[in-house]
Amino acid sequence: MIYKEKTVCFTGHRLLKENQDILFSTVYDTVELLIENGYLYFCTGGARGFDALAAEVIISLKEKYPNIQLILILPFQNHYEHEKTWGTEEIIQLENHKNKASRVIYTQDAYSRGCYYKRDRQLVDISSVCIAYQYKNSGGTAYTTKYAVKNGLKVINIK
């Protein structure tokens, strides 16, 4: 059972402009503060870039806080095959995240127009906090952040 009031989602761009070690540390500190305030469920959308970094942070924090859960909400099975820009290491990393996640949810069976936005809405709909890495006002990250604000989530933009 996932409780909205204890759930955090992540949204962010695939291209990480900041130093990844510094970004990891910033996300780590932000998430740890949320854990200390009772948050237990952390949901990512399984994309390259920020989603992958966020999943790595949760996996790392799970060593210190074994009761937290990583939940992957994916648009459909093997979505990396549809995108065609995934490298072998990124696919291996996603499979590792799936293996270490407490739960993997697919929003639908196969690709269709709008399926990524459907995934993004589901991330927001089950959360009360959204950690964003948004440095431009277009694309899926901007859509998700706006949807989160519209739905009353606390949005923390760590860019």
CATH code assigned at 58: 3.40.50.450
Query: Model-level pTM?
Result: 0.95
- Structural domain tally of the chain? 1
* Residues 75-107 as b or e (16 or more Cβ within 10 Å = b): bbeebbeeeeebeeebeebbeebeeebeeebbb
What is the domain range of residue 12?
A: 4-157
Classify 106 as helix, strand or coil: strand
pLDDT score of 2: 77
Segment (H or E) for 90: helix 88-100
Query: Which residue type occupies 138?
Result: S
pLDDT tens for the chain, residues 1 to 159: 779 999 999 999 999 998 999 999 999 999 999 999 999 999 999 999 999 999 999 999 999 999 999 999 999 999 999 988 999 999 999 999 999 999 999 999 999 999 999 999 999 999 999 999 999 999 999 999 999 999 999 999 998
pLDDT score of 84: 85
pLDDT score of 70: 98
CA 22 vs CA 16, 25, 38, 134: distances in Å:
11, 5, 25, 16
